[in-house]
A and B are shown apart, each in its own frame.
Chain A
Amino acid sequence: MPLRTDIRSVMVLGSGPIVVGQAAEFDYAGSQACRTLRELGLQVILMNSNPATIMTDATMADRIYLEPLRAPVAEMILRRERPQGLLPTLGGQVGLNLAVQLAEAGILEELGITLLGTPVSAIRRGEDREAFRSLLGEIGEPCPASTAVRSVAEAVAHAGRLGFPLVVRPAYTLGGEGSGVARDQDQLVSVVARGLARSPARQCLVEEYLEGWREIEFEIIRDGRDNCLVVCGMENLDPMGIHTGDSIVVAPCQTLSGEEYHSLRRAAFRVIRALGIEGGCNIQFALAPGGSRYHVIEVNPRVSRSSALASKATGFPIAAVTTRIALGYTLDEIEQPSAKRAGCYEPVADYVAVKIPRWPFDKFALADRRLGTQMKATGEVMGIDRTFEGALLKAVRSLDLGGTGLFRRELAAWPESTLRDALEQPDDRRLFVLAEGCRRGLDIQELAARTGIPPHFIGRIRLLADLIREVEQGGLEGDTTALRRAKRAGFSDGELAAAAGTTEQAVEALRLSAGVHPVYKAVDAWAAGAAGGATGYYSTYEDEDESPRPDGHSVLVVGSGPIRIGQGIEFDYCSVHAAEELRAAGIRSLVINNNPETVSTDYTTSDCLFLEPITREDVREVIRSQAVSGVLVQFGGQTALNLAADIDDMGAPILGTGRRSIDRAEDRHEFDRLLDELGVARPPGHAACSPEQVLAAAGEIGYPVIVRPSYVLGGRGMAVLREPADFGDLAGAVDWAHPVWVDRFIAGRELEVDALADGRQVLVLGIMEHVEGTGVHSGDSLLVYPPQRLEAGVRDMVVQLTTRLTLALEIRGLVNLQYVLAGGEVLVLEANPRASRTVPILAKVLGFPAVRVAARLALGSTLAQLGLNPGLYPEPAHVAVKAPVFSWSKLPGVDSIVGPEMKSTGEVLGIDWHFPGALARALEAAGLRLPADGGTVAFSLADRDKRRGTETARSYAEAGLRLAATAGTAAALERAGLSVKAYRKLGEGSPNLIDGLAAEEVDLVINTFTRGAEPSRDGHRIRRAAVEQGVPCLTSLDTAETVLESIRSRRAGVTLPVRALQDYLQGGRP
């Protein structure tokens, strides 16, 4: 069936900000959908609040709404744009839920809008646990005994019949949020209560817990003619009980017999056909130990994180094919753009792909790092090699965790009993613990029994352990047999060096002199069984290299790896644009990256994609093999930038800002010297190499000081010290290999600038203002552009300073600068000689292709040649506010206070003609539920904030809100004549604020206790209680005062009309 002729325009729903459980995979899916729709000549209307995405780019859709992903807003857009179709299955759970709400409210029917692809009835049958269970019953597919409950009492009543242990799964939630295992009645009560609170449908499934069963997933595509195929079968290393998003996943399945595999495949088709899904979906099975029995666990009637992984592991573009199916095509009619053959084949691989989740526990030392049914990872990496062990080692390197590799020195010191316990109590170190167990020679069957990981995989790790022990004992000298074997198995030079007690450089030299290099093989969905147009490659130590090396220039874009706090999807955005601009310039574009979720690893983004770890060794080998004429390191975040020296050392040209400039900006000491030479003001500071030196420097500079480690992302290990005692919490979190910088903490307002330069002239793209003062990481701040409260003259000062600094640093391309504004003076905080988190925001708000221009500058063009004038880029008439989005509820134990170390996982943007409107949209998009008129705001303030906080509280009272406070704060507020409900101090009887939160008496918490990193502190407990209850908690008075503006304007009854980005950019301000 060809394209439906009744559809001319389609609305696509995105998934909003990055949170745990929903990362870049939906930018990948959504971008593919938008591209496909436009290829088919359809008009595309896009709704997504996440500005860091490729899908919200001007070239992706005709009308882009950076608006909150909520049903009333979507309804307004639909009424305004009147599309004929709505595509619901590519925007993750958020997009799907939104589409179902719109359908159920009758809006689609009223407006004559067709829900494309999977019908809503199928979505409902797949998502509603009870309906799904009864469907499985009808078609005779086994599933765990379970019951859907709407109350704790109901759950307890059924527990006896089902028997413990039980797993509780809330309906319609993301990343297993709110789910958990209950081994007795007490646990059941608390898990169900939490689950019901998290489920938008107030429904939980209480289910028999299939402990120790294996978890198998299939990515399936079905079209309207009932053709079904499996894109990829994937096997979780980890058994049931660990969320698949937190599991190590292997594709294709490695340990299923033909009979097991095909019986699951047939079952999958029966279920998908019974549901009536049209497009891509995901089905999960539990397979009993021994393999004879299976249960259907769940179906996601949409594309998912797993489909992104399956697409990358096979080269099959699931989202593009799903989009075409939604528009009426059948699989046999769809030609694969990359392979020029029909879409109706089941990929087969002659390689193994391994996915490892990337957890944020390197930043959150005090978080609960145990793994369970609720996902905690922020991102993931994929390694591909011809064998499991090779792919595993690559994935480990790609995590960018520091350290040497799979066999971690720090675990070698663990006593055996600790190790054995850790095997049974899985946390993020599980794989390393298992590897250490193998290294110590523990029995494979015992390891399998303790971890639930199939013996096959443990056997392969054991093989690696044997190899590494040989290297530990025999070294690598002598003939090259040991080296060759270890390289073929997949070990990096670095890991071998650590084992042999030498340096990575020495191993590399040995390897080069022996002529041992990897070859590159195609990611080929036909296992070489058909001629293909593959564009993705992976390295392996075998005979034949099949990567194409055409004549002419090729340039490598170094990507940014997994999504993690501090380095998110924005750098993928930049990498994609850089690759596209290379193509536009007629240069062959190569990309190296290992994040399977992203657009940069889409096989159509570049001319040649290398799915490889981003390390010294792997990047250098690609450069060597491809004889590239240049390398771009300024678009892949800190990960790429940190490789500048290694790339420069081998004589490969770094295009744009060079190594010397990078060092001058990155090394705090050198940077300070440069500022000195230029006579530029900055807070006084010193380098320090030990805790003692930090305290000495602080004493000299005077408290408060701020401690900044070098070469880190997201302000890791950064902290404000108000007195020497504050340092106690921090000393252990700092890596003393690099000096830290200690400088005076200057209380003031922060400004952030992105600029472009060609070495002679500087274009200041924009000056952005942070709502929160210094001491809050820029990634966690509300950010306003253009600035709304800059004194006259400051703009010019900032532009001048930026120009001088940028020229002095000899920037060619992008640079990001941070300033503090204090006492009428502009002080420099730092310079980042690379693309930044805010570049996509400015690019969108201005409609200016910032990264593409930067790529041209890096290639040698001048601003003048590109028709651009130096100085400040004209500020627009509209205002944009970026709000951070946190994943507190997914990360038990993490303190929700904001500070110098970044904690947010994603961001949203609000745009309006006026600041209050932009702010309101941003806050709504961030999911901040502001209290309604007459609601209660509870204050709990640090002593130093009490005076200012009292005025803040007064403003809240004047805005129609009731005040509450903890004892000390209440006294201060009462002294100021405010009427306030006082809660007792924690530990001094009831009711305290936590009781108040539990009793749903409080709608907003404003808490500024800073010294609360340890879970026992009151501030931490209050913030955590707010998170558990889903009550918003603001931890900066700056935020609180700004949010109040939104509360006021809402009180004034202002409703905001929806506007597309194009409406703002084409002018016409009313």
Chain B
Amino acid sequence: MAVGWLVLEDGTRYQGRLFGAIGRADGEVVVNLAATGHRETLIDPVFCGQIVVLSHPVVGNLGGYPEDLDSSRAHLRGLVVRQLAEQRSGSPQSLDCFLEGQGVVGLEEVDTRSLVRHLRARGSLRGVLSSSPEDMPERAPSRDWVEEVTTHGPYRVFGDGPRLVVIDCGLRPAMLRDLTDRYDADLVIVPATTDSRSILDLRPEGVIVSSGPGDTGRLGYIARTLGELLGRVPMFGMGLGHHLLAAALGAGAFPLPFGHRGLNHPVQEVASGRVLITAQNHGHALKECTLVGTGLDVTHRSCQDATVEGTRHRRLPVMGVDFHAEAGSGPGDGAGAFAAFWNSIGGEG
């Protein structure tokens, strides 16, 4: 395999060996701390447009890309790892082949720990993966990533439970599976551009705003829709969806210096004091001072940096969390947050 480079916008270079797709990949370089579930990471739309560095040193030995997955699309641009292990078990498609087919550039044999330390110290940086140490990352204007990953048209997943409308900002397949398997919810998944009237016409008993890539900056249209829905239907937001709900109420978010990405993020439930180990993939957090006057109370807080991880409106049936509230393949401790919403709209399960 050929020698390749990751060059960061500050000029730092990391040498490795290329795998996956041939070519060049530009994007924000982010770190995922998950020690397992890398297959799920690759297809999570939340990483759309990003170059993902895995801190876990050995990747790829399980194979299984992507036959046993619900979605075959990789959304990330590049993947940087310490060691790409040969596949020895699992179903046949290897990580290398999968990335090649998906047009994702991979770089292995990188001192990823050094890279992670650098990113933690410097904050989020743009980078480029290519075969040349002279390439520099493109400057990228702020853009609407949700547009790229949201569903093109509405679709239904039938169930016997209450009807939920899911606004797809880049949802994880695992979330839908969880809503079906655990709650038997009757789901209508709609594009992020769907207006409030169309959503209400579906007569939902609750609305879920999914997680997704990027920040709320260019998503004013979704926040507006949510604003129109406030008080008319109970709503639950996850990750980006949570931030959009808060934006609809007037709160703002800020970029975290390093992001919360991994499966081990401790979050404290404010009311009970219980600690949940949660799966998270978000680069922004709500600014606590902007919650004043929005009616939102903090329900969850990060044990690591004390940032807001969950809120609930004092009067309106609106709540949200920054972590994954479905079991999926993560630790699943956060599932109680969604269960609380489900119970509030009268669901069983």
Contacts and interface: CB of A to CB of B under 8 A. Distances in A.
A341 B275 CA distance: 14
A473 interface: no
A193 interface: no
A332 B303 contact: yes
Given A386-B57, A386-B83, A387-B58, A253 B88 contact: no
Contacts of B34: 258, 348
Interface string B248-277: 000000000010001111101000111101
A266 B83 contact: no
Contact of A262 (B33, B113, B330): B330
Contact of A521 (B35, B39, B113): B113
Contact of A258 (B33, B40, B268): B40
Interface in B1-31: 14, 31
Contacts of A253: 35-36
A528 B116 contact: yes
A559 interface: no
Contact of B58 (A229, A254, A526): A254
B111 interface: yes
B36 A542 contact: no
Given A253-B36, A254-B58, A459 B116 contact: no
Nearest to B303: A342
Given A262-B36, A529-B120, A348 B55 contact: yes
B83 to A, nearest CB: 5
Majority SS at the chain A contact face: loop
Contacts of B264: 345-348
B37 interface: yes
Interface in A221-261: 225-227, 229-230, 252-259, 261
A344 B113 contact: no
A460 B116 contact: no
Given A262-B329, A529-B262, 16 more contacts: A229-B266, A229-B277, A254-B58, A255-B89, A258-B36, A258-B37, A261-B36, A262-B37, A330-B273, A332-B275, A348-B263, A350-B55, A454-B89, A456-B61, A528-B116, A544-B114
Interface string A190-225: 000000000000000000000000000000000001
B55 to A, nearest CB: 4
B313 interface: no
Given A258-B37, A348-B33, A386-B113, A529 B64 contact: no
19 contacts: A225-B273, A255-B61, A258-B330, A262-B36, A262-B331, A330-B275, A344-B303, A345-B303, A346-B266, A347-B264, A348-B33, A348-B263, A349-B35, A351-B113, A386-B82, A387-B57, A521-B113, A542-B111, A542-B114
A459 B274 contact: no
B315 interface: no
A388 interface: yes
Residue from the set A226, A444, A527 with the largest chain B CB neighbour count within 10 Å: A527
Interface in A358-393: 386-388
Interface residues of B, number: 50
A255 B55 CA distance: 16
Contact of A257 (B39, B274, B331, B332): B39
Interface string A120-153: 0000000000000000000000000000000000
Interface of B: 14, 31, 33-40, 55-58, 61-62, 64, 82-83, 85-86, 88-90, 111-114, 116-117, 120, 258, 262-266, 268, 272-275, 277, 303-304, 327, 329-332
Nearest to A386: B57
A528 B120 contact: yes
B260 to A, nearest CB: 9
A387 B109 CA distance: 11
Given A262-B331, A265-B331, A388 B117 contact: no
A227 B304 contact: no
Interface of A: 225-227, 229-230, 252-259, 261-262, 265-266, 330-332, 341-342, 344-352, 386-388, 444, 454-456, 458-460, 521, 526-531, 542-544, 546
Given A265-B331, A266-B332, A330-B273, A350 B56 contact: yes
A348 B57 contact: no
A530 B304 contact: yes
Contacts of A386: 57, 82-83, 113
B57 A351 contact: yes
Contacts of A349: 35, 56
B58 A225 contact: no
Contacts of B89: 255, 454-456
A465 to B, nearest CB: 14
B277 A257 contact: no
A455 B87 CA distance: 9
A139 B112 CA distance: 42
Contacts of A347: 264
Top 4 A-B residue pairs of the complex, sorted by shortest distance between their CB atoms:
A258-B37, A544-B114, A258-B329, A455-B88
A543 B56 contact: no
B266 A344 contact: yes
Contacts of B35: 252-253, 348-349
B346 to A, nearest CB: 27
B277 A387 contact: no
Nearest to A269: B333
B64 to A, nearest CB: 7
A254 B331 contact: no
Contacts of B88: 444, 454-456, 458-459
Contact of B258 (A256, A258, A529): A529
Among B58, B258, B263, the one with the most A-chain Cβ atoms within 10 Å of its Cβ is B58
Contacts of B258: 529
A256 B263 CA distance: 15
Contacts of B83: 386-387
Nearest to B258: A529
A529 B36 contact: no
A345 B265 CA distance: 7
B101 to A, nearest CB: 20
Given A456-B61, A521-B113, A527 B56 contact: yes
Contacts of B37: 257-259, 261-262
A725 B22 CA distance: 74
